[in-house]
Amino acid sequence: MMSYMPGETRDIAHMPRGGFNASCLDRRLQTDRLEYLDRDDVDHLKRQVVRSLEVVGSLFGDHQRFARLALAEVDEVPDPTILELAPATARCRARC
């Protein structure tokens, strides 16, 4: 089970890219620019990125694999509460 998780919650606003244990390369790649999925001014690009993620996820079976991994993490929990495990599109939700 998730024994590797820290006992205390740190301020996520001050967390570096990749978390507190991020590599030097990961931290050097950090920018203040928003990713396409976080921006509201480029809807067509956002849809294109989500569609690409859906296609790649379908080809490699990522959606099902990630769902199995999440369920394996809470397998021994008596009554788990999963806050969100949702694909970005309705088409993908229907398959998962």
7 located within any domain:
no
45 located within any domain:
yes
pLDDT tens for 44-92 read 888 888 888 889 988 999 888 988 898 898 888 888 887 765 555 555 5
**In the structure, what pLDDT confidence band is assigned to residue 95 with cuts at 50, 70 and 90?**
low
Non-local CB neighbours of 84 within 8 Å, separated by 6+ positions: none
10 located within any domain:
no
Asked whether residue 5 carries a pLDDT value surpassing 90, the answer given is no
3-state DSSP of 45-86: HHHHHHHHHHHHHHHHCHHHHHHHHHHHHCCCCCCCCCCCCC
60 located within any domain:
yes
Domain total for the chain?
Answer: 1
Task: Give the pTM.
Answer: 0.49
81 located within any domain:
no
DSSP letter for each residue of 3-21: TTS-SS---GGGPPTT-TT
pLDDT tens for 12-34 read 667 666 777 778 787 777 777 87
70 located within any domain:
yes
